[in-house]
Amino acid sequence: MYLLNRKQRHVVNYTWMIISLLLVAFLPFLLFIGLYFKSVLLLHDYSLFDLIFSKSWKPASGQFGFYPFIVGSVWVTLVSMLISAPICLLTAIYVTQYTRKNFLRIMHPAIDILAGIPSVVYGLWGILVIVPFISRYLGPWLDVKTMGYSILAASFVLSIMIIPFILNILIEIFKAIPMELKEAALSLGATQWQTIKHVLLKKALPGIIAAFGFGLARAFGETMAVLMVVGNVVKLPKSLFDPGYTLPALIANNYGEMLSIPKYDSALMFAALLLLAVSLFFNLVMHFFIVRYNKF
C-alpha cells in the first residue's frame, strides 16, 4: 500500500525532478554571482584591466596584480596539454585500432588506477622524482639554472594526472565509431593508416576536441599537485624552468590567513572568479569547435 495515490506520487516525483534540475542549472550562476559580490569591494577600487594586467602583487601595500598568476596558470595548463594530448591520442588509436580486444581489458584497470590516485600523491611524486630530475639532470644538461620547482615540473605532474581522464574518453570515442565505416574505407583500398588518418580521425574530431577541453579544464583547476611543485613565487616566469604561481594555488595557500589585510579576501574571491571565468571561456571555445566540426 502506498501513502499517496498515483496522481499525488506523480506530482511529488515531478516536483523533485524540477527542483534537482533547477539546482544543477543555477548552481554555476549562483557561484558566479556569489563570487562577484564577494569581490566587488576590490572591483570598486581598481579597474578590471589593472587587476588582470598589473604585475605587482603586494597585498600589504594595496597592490593586487593578478598577471603573474594568470600567466603561471596558462603556462602550466598549456604545457601539460602539449605533453598529454599527443600521448593520449596515439595511445587511444593504438589501443583501439591495433591491438586485440583483450588488451583493452588489461588497459582499462590500469588507466582507472591512474585516474583514482589522489592529487596529493601525485604532488609528492613530483617533489620526490620530477623536481630532483629537473634540477639535477635536465637543467644541467640543457645548461639552465633551475631549482627544480618550476612551471615544467608542474606541467609534467599535471600531464600525468590528466592523461587517464582524456585517454578514457578518447578510447570510448574511438570504440564508438562503427566497424562498418572502417570496412567502407578499407574496401576502397585504403591502408589502415590512411583509414585512421582520413576517416576515423575526422569522424572522431568533435569528440577529440571535447576530450581535450575536458582535460584542459581539469588541468587549469588542479590545485594540490601543482602548488606542491610549481614553486609558488610571485614572478613572471621567463622560461619553463622558472618557478611560478597559479590561481588555484594562490587561493589554497592564502585563504584563511592574513585576512586582516584590507581587501585581501576580496582579492582571493576575485581570483576564484577569474578561475571560473576562464573555465567558462574554455568551455565556450570547445563548444564552438565541437559544433563547427560535428557536421559530418
Write out the residues near other proteins by the rule CB under 8 A.
100, 178-191, 194, 198-199, 202-203, 295-296
Provide the minimum distance between the beta carbon of 174 and other proteins in the complex, in angstroms, as a whole number: 14
Q: Which residue has the cell 587511444?
A: 92
What contacts 240, CB < 8 A, 6 or more positions away?
75, 79, 150, 151, 152, 155
Nearer to other proteins, 127 or 190 (CB): 190
- d(C-alpha 287, C-alpha 206), whole Å: 9
Q: Which grid cell is 214?
A: 575536458
Provide the minimum distance between the beta carbon of 182 and other proteins in the complex, in angstroms, as a whole number: 7
Nearer to other proteins, 29 or 296 (CB): 296
Provide the minimum distance between the beta carbon of 215 and other proteins in the complex, in angstroms, as a whole number: 23
Q: What separation in angstroms does the CA of 181 have from each of 24, 123, 175, 186?
A: 37, 43, 12, 9
- d(C-alpha 225, C-alpha 181), whole Å: 42
Q: What separation in angstroms does the CA of 28 have from each of 100, 217, 267, 279, 280?
A: 43, 15, 20, 11, 10
Provide the minimum distance between the beta carbon of 203 and other proteins in the complex, in angstroms, as a whole number: 4
Nearer to other proteins, 200 or 267 (CB): 200
Three-state secondary structure call for residue 1: coil
Closest CA to 96 of 190, 207, 219, 210: 207
What contacts 235, CB < 8 A, 6 or more positions away?
68, 242, 243, 244, 245
Q: What is the DSSP track for 200-223? A: IHHHHHHHHHHHHHHHHHHHHH--
Nearer to other proteins, 61 or 102 (CB): 102
Provide the minimum distance between the beta carbon of 95 and other proteins in the complex, in angstroms, as a whole number: 15
Provide the minimum distance between the beta carbon of 108 and other proteins in the complex, in angstroms, as a whole number: 19
Nearer to other proteins, 127 or 201 (CB): 201
CA diameter of the chain: 79
- d(C-alpha 50, C-alpha 43), whole Å: 10
Provide the minimum distance between the beta carbon of 92 and other proteins in the complex, in angstroms, as a whole number: 17
Nearer to other proteins, 87 or 186 (CB): 186
- d(C-alpha 23, C-alpha 58), whole Å: 38
Nearer to other proteins, 112 or 172 (CB): 172
Provide the minimum distance between the beta carbon of 191 and other proteins in the complex, in angstroms, as a whole number: 6
Nearer to other proteins, 15 or 194 (CB): 194
Q: Which residue has the cell 589522489?
A: 118
